[in-house]
Amino acid sequence: MGFNYVQGAADDQEMWALGLTPRMFWKHRDALLLDTASACEDTVRAIVASSCDLQDNNDSARFHFIAGTQVAVGGRVSGRPPECWNHFDAIINCGAPLYQEHSVNSQKLASRYIYLPIPEGKRGQAELGKQIPRALDFARPFLRDPSKRILVHCSQGMDRSVGIALAIMTRYFDKHKAFTEENSDVSKNGIQNRLLWIITSHQRANPSRATLKQVNRFFLDIC
């Protein structure tokens, strides 16, 4: 088996790993290493899909509220119906596979549930930037009422959902975590501080540099 060296590839594991984690690799290493290059990607996708199904029974990977706010960040299982509606008034799905109940009832839930078609990995970074305005418009009416709880989730609760949650924190919360219709004091340091809020509350958060770049570009180039 041959290998090609691609400079900087290790910085973009979200694209080439396709969601495969070290734990998954070591568990399935024999099957992966026996695969041909053309079949390996299909095997990885099957392993990741199977792992996502297993995670649906793992309460430890559900969600965490960003301290002092009504916004939570989580993985796909946190948006599983009907339980999700016991915890949240609105849900922003940042590209995670839809549960059947959400697909079937998409029109009925339109005012409370939004799906942002953000692919995983590098392919999704430009799309994440495009979807920020939709997420902000959707979240605003719920944030006006402090009793309303919002979930922002993706498949793993690590990257895409963190980027969208960071955009919400930046636009609608001042440095004291008080809601504002539009935060006028936006800066690189302010965005970094809000990222710290998220990471402190939701320790699974691990946004890629490309995701953070999209958020910074949206606010610092437009505002």
Q: Look at residue 50 in the predicted model and tell me its pLDDT.
A: 60
pLDDT-based confidence at 126, cuts 50/70/90? Answer: confident
**pLDDT interval class at 223 (50, 70, 90):** very low
Measured from the Cβ of residue 220, the count of other Cβ atoms closer than 10 Å reads 12
* The pLDDT of residue 69 is above 90: yes
Interatomic CA distance for residues 185 and 191, integer angstroms: 10
Residues 202-213, mean pLDDT to the nearest whole number? 91
Predicted pLDDT at 41: 75
Closest CA to 163 of 115, 123, 206: 206
Average predicted confidence (pLDDT) for the chain: 84
Q: What is the DSSP letter of 180?
A: -
Residue 16: predicted pLDDT:
61
State the pTM of this model. Answer: 0.73
Side-chain-side CA neighbours of 149 within 13 Å: the count stands at 16
What are the distances in angstroms from CA 149 to CA 36, 92, 123, 144, 146?
A: 47, 11, 30, 11, 8
> Using 50, 70 and 90 to split pLDDT, how confident is the model at 59?
very low
Contact assessment for residue 179 and residue 173, using Cβ atoms and an 8 Å cutoff? yes
Using DSSP's 3-state secondary structure scheme, residue 188 falls into helix
pLDDT tens-place string over residues 84-99:
999 999 999 999 888 8
Residue whose C-alpha is closest to residue 208's, from 10, 11, 6, 37:
11
pLDDT tens figures, 10-31: 555 555 667 777 777 787 777 7
Per-residue confidence band for 203, with pLDDT thresholds at 50, 70 and 90: confident
Where helices occur in the chain by DSSP H, the ranges are 13-16, 22-27, 29-34, 37-55, 84-87, 100-104, 125-143, 160-172, 188-201, 209-222
Q: Which amino acid is at 145?
A: D
More confident residue, 54 or 115: 115
CA distances from 205 to 65, 161, 210 (A): 12, 9, 14
pLDDT score for 180: 95
Which distant-in-sequence residues (6+ apart) come within 8 Å of 223 by Cβ?
186
